[in-house]
Amino acid sequence: MSECRNCGRSELHDLGPIGQVQPFFLKRVFGLEIRAPRSPNALKQKIRDIAAIPMSFFSQVTGRFAFVEMQLCEHCFFIQTKVPFHDDDIMHLYADYRSPSYNGERIRYEPEYASIAAAIGQDQSEVRTRRSALTAFLGRVLRTSYSDAILDYGGADGRFIPDIPGTKFVYEISSMEPIPGVTRLTSESELGTYSIVLLAHVTEHVTHPLKLVRKLGTYVKPGGYLYVETPQEISDQQRVELQNSASRLELGIHEHINYYCTPAVRSLLEAARLDVVAIEDEVVDLGWTTSVHIRALGRKPLTA
Ligand SMILES: [Zn+2]
């Protein structure tokens, strides 16, 4: 039986094949390309090539995509693919994430990526905006100014860790060097327990966010905090229209395979037995784009 991979419930509403899988994702994750087959017979191939000219012209205008079935959870409004991807396959997207080989291959599939490749995750205004917003949020909602150790899970080189006291660690599988003052851990066996664990811009990328958040809960000290930040890419209104079949919206499947909203983030924390201390959303200007970010802080009970 299928279940919501965000909250664990099983009331799922089928949205139909509206998940538009981007060609770069197909190539990287499954080694798949969409094109017309070639004939082993030279004459037949020649005829096919001639016949295909209008079609290839047409496909350049409209594009051709593979679509996957999507589901919306009627409990938390999380949107997921009906058939889950495997994380081992998804990881093919990130092996050389944002390195020259990654950017080169992606630009072959998405020429428009060239203009933003250098900016994503590097743009100083994105770093400043995300870090200062998180520092301000924690300043408002943390019930203590004390933190002994902070872990940013999947946190690149640690540049997004907020400006609060405490020893700073990043768990990162790519080979990125950490910034000064941050220690990089590369194996889960090196992880300990922390007063704050940060999970920013990860849950929209993974197949089973609830499994990940439950696991991260074990790295949080009793009374400590788990912070989740994720974008909201379609509005609450668009979500209602999808649910009522009153929309022709198609949802891109690329780096992001899940679609979040505030109730989904709240349910994710609650399903992992964390108390939601604060949750908010805000439109943020990242320099290369504007986006709505949902921020939430969950607290691990002192006694399990
Ligand atoms: Zn759900």
* Ligand 1 midpoint to CA 246 (Å): 21
Task: Give the pLDDT score at 58.
Answer: 47
Q: Where are the domains of the chain?
A: 12-55+65-117, 124-299
Task: Give the pLDDT score at 21.
Answer: 95
Residues 256-273: b if buried by 16+ CB within 10 A, e if exposed: bbbbbbbbbbbbbbebbe
Please give the C-alpha separations between residue 214 and each of 44, 136, 189, 224, 235, in angstroms, as whole numbers: 57, 26, 17, 14, 27
**Which residue from 204, 206, 267 is spatially nearest to 8, judged by alpha carbons?**
267
Task: Give the pLDDT score at 223.
Answer: 93
Residues 20/248, Cβ–Cβ less than 8 Å: no
CA dist 6 and 203 (Å) reads: 9
* Ligand 1 midpoint to CA 75 (Å): 5
* Ligand 1 midpoint to CA 15 (Å): 14
Task: Give the pLDDT score at 53.
Answer: 56
Task: Give the pLDDT score at 19.
Answer: 97
CA dist 188 and 185 (Å) reads: 8
Please give the C-alpha separations between residue 176 and each of 29, 156, 197, in angstroms, as whole numbers: 22, 7, 19
* Ligand 1 midpoint to CA 14 (Å): 13
* Ligand 1 midpoint to CA 57 (Å): 42
The values of phi and psi at residue 161, to 5°, are -65, 130
CA dist 134 and 294 (Å) reads: 11
∠ CA 113-119-122, nearest 5°, is 135
CA dist 143 and 300 (Å) reads: 13
CA dist 90 and 33 (Å) reads: 16
CA dist 156 and 153 (Å) reads: 9
Query: Mean pLDDT, consecutive 10-residue segments, the chain of 304 residues?
Result: 93 96 93 82 74 53 82 97 94 83 90 79 75 91 80 92 91 86 94 96 96 97 96 95 91 96 98 97 84 96 83
**Which residue from 123, 63, 93, 136 is spatially nearest to 282, judged by alpha carbons?**
136
* Ligand 1 midpoint to CA 163 (Å): 33
Q: Which are the contacts of 173, defined by CB distance < 8 A and separation ≥ 6?
A: 94, 154, 186
* Ligand 1 midpoint to CA 9 (Å): 6
Q: Does domain 124-299 have CATH number 3.40.50.150?
A: yes
* Ligand 1 midpoint to CA 11 (Å): 8
Query: What is the pTM assigned to this prediction?
Result: 0.89
* Ligand 1 midpoint to CA 254 (Å): 21
Residues 134/127, Cβ–Cβ less than 8 Å: no
Helices 209-217 & 262-271, crossing angle to 10 degrees? 50
* Ligand 1 midpoint to CA 7 (Å): 4
**Which residue from 252, 244, 254, 183 is spatially nearest to 29, judged by alpha carbons?**
254
Q: Which are the contacts of 73, defined by CB distance < 8 A and separation ≥ 6?
A: 4, 6, 7, 9, 11, 12, 13, 79, 80, 264
Task: Give the pLDDT score at 127.
Answer: 83
Do the strands 66-73 and 182-185 form a parallel or antiparallel pair, or are they unpaired? unpaired
Task: Give the pLDDT score at 1.
Answer: 66
* Ligand 1 midpoint to CA 239 (Å): 14
Q: Which are the contacts of 102, defined by CB distance < 8 A and separation ≥ 6?
A: 96
* Ligand 1 midpoint to CA 277 (Å): 20
Task: List alpha helices for 26-154, DSSP H.
Answer: 42-62, 87-90, 100-109, 114-117, 124-141
Q: Which are the contacts of 100, defined by CB distance < 8 A and separation ≥ 6?
A: none
* Ligand 1 midpoint to CA 230 (Å): 16
* Ligand 1 midpoint to CA 60 (Å): 38
